[in-house]
C-alpha cells in the first residue's frame, strides 16, 4: 500500500492544488489528510470542496474544531483567533457540515493517523523525545502519522536506543525498519514552519517500507494577495514567504 499524506492545508488553495497535481503523478493508492483544513488561509470553502471532490479521507485538526466551536479560542494566539473568527464568517453550511463530520483518528492495522498525537489527537504537539516516548508508550502502533507542528521529521523508537529524532531528506526514501516504531510528520501543505516556504507532504510506501518527504514550490504571492484582499492579518500572509 502506498499513501500520500497531507496535513495543515490552512485554507491555502494554491498550495493544495500544486500538491494534489504532484500526487497524481506518484501512483498512490490513497491520500490521507491529517487535519487543519482551515484557519489562517483565504480559501477554506474551496479547500474543503477540493478534498471532497478527490474523496480524501480527512481527520479533524485543532483549527477545524475551533472554527466549529469545539475548541476554546483562548487556546490560540491573537492572530490565529482573528483568522478563526474570519473563517467562521465565510464558512459555508456545507463546509461546516464537513468539518463537523471529521473523525479524530484512523487506524489501518498497525498504522495510526491523527492530527496532534495518539494521546491527544487535537491539541498535543510532538516536538521532543520525551513527548514522543510518552506517545509510543500510550498507544499500540508501529507507524503513527501526525501533523500539527508543521515541522517534518521522524521520531524512531527501539528497545535499545529508545527515542531518536531524524530529519527527513527531501526526495530520498527514509527506510522504515520492521524492528522499530515510528512517529512521522510530513510537514504542512499550506503553512510550513521549518524555514522552508515550499509546500510539504509525505509519501508512505508500506510495501517498500519507506517514507519520502516531498517539497514543492507554489505561488506564495497569490495566496498572500488573496489573504490581504480578504482582510486577514498581514503577518499571517508575510510568514508564508519565509516558512515561519
Cα 240 from Cα 190, distance rounded (Å): 8
Residue 32 above 80 pLDDT? Answer: yes
pLDDT at 159: 79
pLDDT at 160: 76
pLDDT at 99: 98
Please indicate, yes or no, whether the overall pTM of this predicted structure exceeds 0.85: yes
Predicted confidence (pLDDT) per residue in 136-174, tens digit: 999 999 999 999 999 999 999 997 778 999 999 999 999
pLDDT at 103: 97
Q: The C-alpha cell of 198 is what?
A: 515550499
Average pLDDT over residues 210-216: 98
* Beta strands in 12-133, from DSSP E residues, in sequence order: 30-33, 57-58, 105-108, 111-114
- Torsion, Cα 32 37 40 44, to 10 degrees, reads 140
What is the pLDDT confidence band of residue 36, given thresholds at 50, 70 and 90? very high
* CB of 215 closer than 8 Å to CB of 189: no
pLDDT at 43: 98
Average pLDDT over residues 202-224: 97
Residue 14 above 90 pLDDT? Answer: yes
Q: Which are the contacts of 210, defined by CB distance < 8 A and separation ≥ 6?
A: 173, 174, 175, 176, 204
What is the pLDDT confidence band of residue 203, given thresholds at 50, 70 and 90? very high
pLDDT at 138: 93
CB-count burial class (<10 Å; 0-12, 13-18, 19+) for 44:
buried
* CB of 200 closer than 8 Å to CB of 214: yes
Q: Residue 126: give its domain's CATH number.
A: 3.60.21.10
Task: Tell me which DSSP letter residue 67 carries.
Answer: H
Average pLDDT over residues 195-218: 97
Cα 82 from Cα 42, distance rounded (Å): 12
Predicted confidence (pLDDT) per residue in 68-120, tens digit: 999 999 989 999 999 999 999 999 999 999 999 999 999 998 999 999 999 99
pLDDT at 206: 95
Cα 134 from Cα 139, distance rounded (Å): 9
- Torsion, Cα 34 198 216 163, to 10 degrees, reads -50
Range of the domain at 105: 2-241
Task: Report the domain count for the chain.
Answer: 1
Amino acid at each position: 500500500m502506498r499513501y500520500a499524506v497531507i496535513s495543515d492545508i490552512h485554507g491555502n488553495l494554491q498550495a493544495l492544488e500544486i500538491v494534489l497535481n504532484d500526487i497524481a503523478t506518484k501512483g498512490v493508492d490513497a491520500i490521507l489528510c491529517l487535519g487543519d483544513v482551515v484557519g489562517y488561509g483565504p480559501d477554506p470553502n474551496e479547500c474543503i470542496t477540493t478534498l471532497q471532490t478527490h474523496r480524501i479521507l480527512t481527520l479533524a485538526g485543532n483549527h477545524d474544531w475551533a472554527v466549529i466551536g469545539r475548541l476554546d479560542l483562548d487556546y490560540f494566539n491573537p492572530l490565529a483567533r482573528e483568522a478563526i473568527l474570519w473563517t467562521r464568517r465565510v464558512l459555508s453550511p456545507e463546509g461546516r457540515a464537513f468539518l463537523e463530520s471529521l473523525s479524530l483518528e484512523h487506524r489501518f492495522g498497525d498504522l495510526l493517523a491523527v492530527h496532534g498525537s495518539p494521546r491527544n489527537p487535537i491539541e498535543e504537539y510532538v516536538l521532543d523525545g520525551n513527548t514522543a516516548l510518552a506517545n509510543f508508550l500510550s498507544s499500540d502502533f508501529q507507524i503513527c502519522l501526525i501533523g500539527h507542528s508543521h515541522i517534518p521529521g521522524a521520531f524512531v523508537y527501539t528497545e535499545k536506543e529508545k527515542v531518536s529524532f531524524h530529519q527527513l531528506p527531501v526526495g530520498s526514501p527514509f527506510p522504515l525498519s520492521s524492528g522499530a516504531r515510528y512517529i512521522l510528520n510530513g510537514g504542512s501543505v499550506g503553512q510550513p514552519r521549518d524555514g522552508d516556504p515550499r509546500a510539504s507532504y509525505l509519501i508512505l510506501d508500506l510495501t517498500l517500507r519507506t517514507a519520502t518527504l516531498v517539497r514543492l514550490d507554489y505561488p506564495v504571492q497569490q495566496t498572500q494577495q488573496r489573504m490581504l484582499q480578504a482582510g486577514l492579518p498581514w503577518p499571517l500572509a508575510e510568514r508564508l514567504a519565509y516558512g515561519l
